[in-house]
């Protein structure tokens, strides 16, 4: 067994004993000293040689090492954390010889490895909860500390009020959420609450509860829209234009019906060039989930472009023909990713995930087997209906397994799973970077800066396929990954019941509980300067968690979520170019609540950035605006609002950058134009006035505008009025699309 496996087992053991432990931990009376946390590195070894008077006395025979816990980087750098503690924080402590018991990251007392942290030395006083790269250990402070603290005029921390969670809209995640809240000893409001809650858990979208003006909501506005198949494909494609090598983890895709011609032409050319090539494509309806409506084709003529009289919005994508197989079966990975914040961007990845297996042995696609869904599609919701589906209580067998059990198995075969894991982390960060620009536009529209509103976080479900050569490929991202912890089972012929699924529970409760722990309003947010940035190219597989280990009662295991951003800022920050374009875009939107740019605002952008000249007059600017906006209004399925959306603006920006900086590569052109625009002062008062009032287009352009009388209504509105863009964007109605 490797460390990872041992770790999962230890964690399971701990979960089993949780009820008992929680009961014990719950029996805290008012007299009990309030736990105080100080930063302690996860490895005791890094503490013990500390010269400044900190010693660790292991009460248990095990000494400094904790079984099953990879020591990671701390092993190689014994002095680093010790220095942080002694040189920075702890040297400031005046504990005057008092002994405090530290419950380390693995809550060692429960495992029989109690340690005592003797902190000697002089200096000032221990100040509540401190952070050191997020590593915490709980210290039950002795009476002496409290006395000393009072004498020195410091506030003694009180036992905290439980965090309040509104679960009234949690839908299918309710069961796992309830367990999580119970484990944290937080307070659930299943019917909502008149007063504000600190956390709102929504089952579908940001708008499940309206009028939330404080606290934190577990959904971002616009996430559902952004992660629909077409939008995700577009966002990734924009990044592919700028960074083709970095974004080669997403299969080539075409958007239907708009790109049908390009698709069929390209396929025809490929086949003409090499008659032996016969690629397969997978067609996915936009906004579909659970494998619904998906089919494979080998000939563009087989596309079903119309349903009834309506053109079907879909993505057609290159089919990955050689996936990695286990037990001859195709499988995919479901990875849970937390976006903790957009500004600054904070991304966490769950160390444990799920793998979903097909139920029919895989064969490369042929005309004969194209319709075999149990062979080609890994969706649980489809395969559960196959007679071959295996429900298993074990994490490493059956049709749904833990990711760690699969990685363990691959490692046993000699696969470099560190490499695989590091590629997966890179894929996740790059994908998030691709969708953040548009999310920011939605965010400012729904929660304008300066107005009361909640902050947001969200758990996403990444579906990833490993190719035979171990390269991870992004299939899709679910904005509402199923958090069900039970599965449907046929208990008697034709009779289905929901029965508990230990594999789901193990993974999903951990993800929800630890998301809540990270969002705990009492948990001080690490600032950027506190976050350690990794150097070197390869991302370590099992970097130490930078967040606190056990909770303040010592009752919970270490976090199963690992921060990857801003931790790896250095490796990925250069990719955030479109986000800078989005920031500019928002700057010129002018009125809070807007998501689209009117022609006047676009002109203001051009003027402010000094992009027009005798070769590129303001009339040409207007024509450019109309041309791009017209194309995008047809291309966006949900184009109820008129004007230039972010994706259209990005296209215009690319064009302008190409005009202005002809000689360099696209990426360099974009960087140069961004630098030019960012250096300009924000639109002045006069410009702002022009942004918010209607103005007729200049005569030169009116002729162009007149041609639009046959164009779609939204565009006509856009061209003729400088828009009613200034109304606040109404929340869209959301189709309930919870992926199960």
Cβ neighbours of residue 222 closer than 8 Å, sequence gap 6 or more: 206, 438, 439, 441, 442, 443, 445, 446
37/478 with CB nearer ligand ADP: 478
Tokens of 52: 């400044």
- Find, among 356, 299, 294, 367, the residue nearest to 329 by Cα: 356
* Residue 480 beta carbon to ligand ADP: minimum distance, rounded to whole angstroms: 11
Cβ neighbours of residue 545 closer than 8 Å, sequence gap 6 or more: 42, 105, 134, 135, 558, 559, 561, 562, 563
> Which of these ranges, 60-68, 146-154, 283-291, 522-530, lies near ligand ADP under the rule CB under 6 A?
283-291
332/514 with CB nearer ligand ADP: 332
281/723 with CB nearer ligand ADP: 281
* Residue 349 beta carbon to ligand ADP: minimum distance, rounded to whole angstroms: 19
Cβ neighbours of residue 190 closer than 8 Å, sequence gap 6 or more: 167, 168
331/605 with CB nearer ligand ADP: 331
* Residue 682 beta carbon to ligand ADP: minimum distance, rounded to whole angstroms: 41
Pairing verdict, β 346-350 and 561-565: antiparallel
Q: Where are the alpha helices (DSSP H) in 228-279?
A: 229-242, 260-273
Among 101, 173, 317, 636, binds ligand ADP (CB under 6 A): 317
Tokens of 290: 């659970």
475/584 with CB nearer ligand ADP: 475
Among 217, 235, 242, 294, binds ligand ADP (CB under 6 A): 294
Binders of ligand ADP: how many residues, by CB under 6 A?
Answer: 20
251/550 with CB nearer ligand ADP: 251
Total residues belonging to the chain = 740
Tokens of 149: 């603290």
Among 35, 41, 215, 288, binds ligand ADP (CB under 6 A): 288
> Which of these ranges, 73-81, 138-146, 317-325, 701-709, lies near ligand ADP under the rule CB under 6 A?
317-325
Q: Is it true that the peptide bond before 291 is cis, omega within 30 degrees of 0?
A: no
Among 282, 417, 560, 595, binds ligand ADP (CB under 6 A): 282
37/378 with CB nearer ligand ADP: 378
> Which of these ranges, 11-19, 72-80, 371-379, 537-545, lies near ligand ADP under the rule CB under 6 A?
371-379
Q: How many CB atoms lie within 10 A of CB 670?
A: 24
378/431 with CB nearer ligand ADP: 378
Site for ligand ADP in 705-724 (CB under 6 A): none
| CA gap 501, 503 in Å, rounded | 6
> Which of these ranges, 2-10, 131-139, 200-208, 312-320, lies near ligand ADP under the rule CB under 6 A?
312-320
* Residue 460 beta carbon to ligand ADP: minimum distance, rounded to whole angstroms: 13
| CA gap 205, 685 in Å, rounded | 37
- C-alpha angle with apex 452: 451 to 458, nearest 5 degrees? 110
Among 133, 172, 289, 545, binds ligand ADP (CB under 6 A): 289
What's CA 276's distance to the chain center, in Å?
Answer: 41
| CA gap 547, 480 in Å, rounded | 25
Q: CB-hemisphere CA count at 13 Å for 519? A: 32
330/340 with CB nearer ligand ADP: 330
What's CA 180's distance to the chain center, in Å?
Answer: 20
> Which of these ranges, 90-98, 133-141, 235-243, 281-289, lies near ligand ADP under the rule CB under 6 A?
281-289
Q: How many CB atoms lie within 10 A of CB 542?
A: 17
Q: Does 353 bind ligand ADP (CB under 6 A)?
A: no
Q: Does 319 bind ligand ADP (CB under 6 A)?
A: yes
Q: Does 292 bind ligand ADP (CB under 6 A)?
A: yes
Site for ligand ADP in 374-393 (CB under 6 A): 377-379
* Residue 358 beta carbon to ligand ADP: minimum distance, rounded to whole angstroms: 7
256/543 with CB nearer ligand ADP: 256
Q: CB-hemisphere CA count at 13 Å for 546? A: 22
Assess contact for 324 and 333: CB atoms under 8 A.
no
Residue located via tokens 């799973």: 417
Task: Write the binding mask 451 to 470 for ligand ADP: x where contact by CB under 6 A, - elsewhere.
Answer: ------------x-x-----
> Which of these ranges, 82-90, 288-296, 386-394, 541-549, lies near ligand ADP under the rule CB under 6 A?
288-296
Q: CB burial class (10 A; 0-12, 13-18, 19+) of residue 355?
A: buried
147/364 with CB nearer ligand ADP: 364
Among 284, 484, 508, 548, binds ligand ADP (CB under 6 A): 284
* Residue 318 beta carbon to ligand ADP: minimum distance, rounded to whole angstroms: 6
What does residue 446 show for φ and ψ, rounded to 5 degrees? -85, -35
200/380 with CB nearer ligand ADP: 380
464/518 with CB nearer ligand ADP: 464
Tokens of 303: 């596309």
* Residue 307 beta carbon to ligand ADP: minimum distance, rounded to whole angstroms: 16
Q: Does 476 bind ligand ADP (CB under 6 A)?
A: yes
Tokens of 625: 């605006």
128/293 with CB nearer ligand ADP: 293
SS3 state of residue 16: helix
| CA gap 158, 373 in Å, rounded | 58
In what helix (H) or strand (E) does residue 168 lie, and over which residues does it extend? strand 164-169
Site for ligand ADP in 330-349 (CB under 6 A): 332
323/643 with CB nearer ligand ADP: 323
* Residue 285 beta carbon to ligand ADP: minimum distance, rounded to whole angstroms: 8
| CA gap 512, 201 in Å, rounded | 10
> Which of these ranges, 68-76, 287-295, 337-345, 443-451, lies near ligand ADP under the rule CB under 6 A?
287-295
Assess contact for 93 and 132: CB atoms under 8 A.
no
Among 230, 320, 556, 677, binds ligand ADP (CB under 6 A): 320
* Residue 355 beta carbon to ligand ADP: minimum distance, rounded to whole angstroms: 11
Cβ neighbours of residue 732 closer than 8 Å, sequence gap 6 or more: 207, 225, 638
Task: Write the binding mask 651 to 690 for ligand ADP: x where contact by CB under 6 A, - elsewhere.
Answer: ----------------------------------------
Strands (E), 359-516: 400-402, 455-456, 458-466, 472-478, 486-492, 495-500
* Residue 673 beta carbon to ligand ADP: minimum distance, rounded to whole angstroms: 34
| CA gap 520, 561 in Å, rounded | 14
* Residue 28 beta carbon to ligand ADP: minimum distance, rounded to whole angstroms: 46
- C-alpha angle with apex 649: 645 to 653, nearest 5 degrees? 175
39/251 with CB nearer ligand ADP: 251
* Residue 324 beta carbon to ligand ADP: minimum distance, rounded to whole angstroms: 12
Q: How far is CA 229 from CA 202, 360, 694, in A?
A: 22, 26, 36
476/544 with CB nearer ligand ADP: 476
Task: Write the binding mask 221 to 260 for ligand ADP: x where contact by CB under 6 A, - elsewhere.
Answer: ------------------------------x---------
| CA gap 645, 449 in Å, rounded | 20
Tokens of 206: 């940001």
Residue located via tokens 């220095």: 83
Q: Is it true that the peptide bond before 439 is cis, omega within 30 degrees of 0?
A: no
Binding site for ligand ADP (CB under 6 A): 251, 282, 284, 288-292, 294, 317, 319-320, 332, 377-379, 463, 465, 475-476
């Amino acid at each position: 067994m490797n460390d990872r496996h041992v770790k999962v087992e230890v964690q399971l053991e701990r979960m089993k004993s949780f009820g008992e432990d929680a009961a014990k931990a719950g029996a805290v009376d008012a007299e009990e000293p309030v736990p105080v946390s100080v930063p302690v590195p996860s490895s005791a070894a890094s503490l013990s040689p500390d010269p400044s008077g900190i010693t660790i006395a292991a009460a248990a025979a095990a000494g400094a090492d904790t079984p099953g816990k990879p020591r990671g980087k701390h092993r190689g750098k014994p002095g680093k954390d010790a220095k942080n503690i002694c040189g920075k924080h702890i040297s400031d402590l005046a504990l005057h010889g008092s002994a405090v018991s530290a419950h380390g990251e693995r809550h060692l007392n429960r495992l029989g490895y109690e340690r005592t942290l003797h902190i000697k030395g002089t200096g000032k006083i221990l100040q509540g909860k401190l952070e050191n790269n997020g590593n915490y250990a709980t210290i039950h402070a002795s009476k002496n500390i409290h006395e000393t603290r009072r004498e020195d005029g410091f506030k003694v921390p009180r036992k905290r009020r439980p965090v309040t969670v509104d679960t009234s809209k949690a839908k299918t995640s309710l069961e796992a959420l309830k367990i999580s809240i119970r484990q944290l000893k937080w307070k659930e409001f299943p019917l909502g609450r008149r007063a504000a809650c600190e956390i709102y858990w929504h089952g579908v979208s940001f708008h499940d509860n309206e009028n939330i003006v404080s606290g934190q909501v577990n959904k971002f506005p616009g996430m559902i829209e952004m992660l629909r198949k077409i939008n995700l494909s577009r966002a990734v494609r924009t990044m592919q234009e700028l960074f083709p090598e970095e974004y080669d983890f997403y299969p080539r895709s075409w958007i239907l019906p708009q790109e049908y011609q390009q698709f069929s032409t390209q396929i025809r050319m490929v086949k003409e060039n090499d008659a032996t090539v016969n690629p397969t494509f997978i067609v996915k309806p936009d906004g579909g989930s659970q494998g619904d409506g998906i089919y494979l084709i080998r000939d563009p003529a087989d596309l079903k472009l119309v349903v009834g009289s309506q053109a079907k919005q879909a993505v057609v994508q290159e089919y990955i023909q050689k996936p990695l197989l286990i037990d001859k079966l195709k499988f995919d990975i479901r990875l849970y990713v937390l976006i903790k914040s957009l500004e600054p961007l904070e991304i966490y990845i769950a160390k444990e995930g799920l793998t979903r297996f097909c139920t029919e042995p895989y064969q490369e696609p042929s005309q004969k087997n194209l319709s075999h869904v149990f062979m080609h599609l890994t969706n649980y919701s489809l395969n559960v209906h196959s007679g071959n589906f295996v429900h298993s209580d074990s994490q490493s067998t059956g049709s749904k397994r833990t990711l760690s059990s699969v990685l363990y198995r691959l490692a046993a075969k000699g696969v470099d799973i560190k490499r695989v894991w590091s590629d997966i982390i890179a894929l996740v960060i790059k994908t998030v970077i691709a969708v953040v620009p548009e999310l920011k536009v939605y965010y400012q529209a729904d929660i304008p800066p300066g107005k009361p509103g909640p902050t947001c976080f969200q758990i996403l479900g990444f579906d990833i396929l490993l190719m035979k050569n171990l390269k991870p490929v992004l299939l899709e991202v679910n904005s509402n990954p199923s958090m069900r912890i039970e599965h449907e089972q046929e208990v008697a012929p034709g009779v289905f019941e929901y029965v508990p699924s230990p594999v789901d529970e193990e993974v999903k409760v951990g993800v929800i509980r630890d998301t809540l722990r990270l969002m705990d309003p009492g948990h001080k947010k690490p600032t950027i300067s506190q976050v350690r940035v990794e150097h070197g190219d390869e991302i370590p597989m099992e970097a130490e968690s930078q967040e606190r280990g056990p909770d303040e009662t010592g009752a919970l295991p270490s976090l199963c979520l690992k921060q990857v951003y801003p931790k790896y800022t250095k490796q990925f920050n250069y990719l955030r170019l479109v986000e800078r374009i989005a920031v500019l875009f928002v700057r010129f939107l002018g009125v809070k609540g807007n998501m689209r740019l009117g022609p006047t605002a676009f002109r203001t952008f051009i003027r402010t950035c000094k992009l027009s000249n005798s070769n590129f007059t303001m009339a040409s600017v207007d024509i450019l605006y109309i041309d791009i906006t017209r194309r995008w209004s047809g291309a966006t399925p949900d184009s109820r609002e008129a004007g230039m959306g972010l994706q259209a603006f990005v296209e215009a920006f690319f064009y302008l950058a190409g005009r202005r900086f002809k000689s360099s590569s696209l990426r360099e052109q974009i960087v140069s134009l961004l630098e030019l625009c960012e250096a300009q002062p924000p639109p002045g008062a006069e410009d702002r006035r022009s942004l918010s009032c209607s103005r007729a287009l200049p005569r030169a352009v009116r002729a162009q505008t007149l041609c639009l009388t046959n164009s779609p209504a939204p565009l006509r509105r856009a061209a003729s009025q400088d828009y009613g863009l200034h109304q606040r964007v109404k929340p869209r109605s959301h189709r309930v699309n919870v992926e199960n």
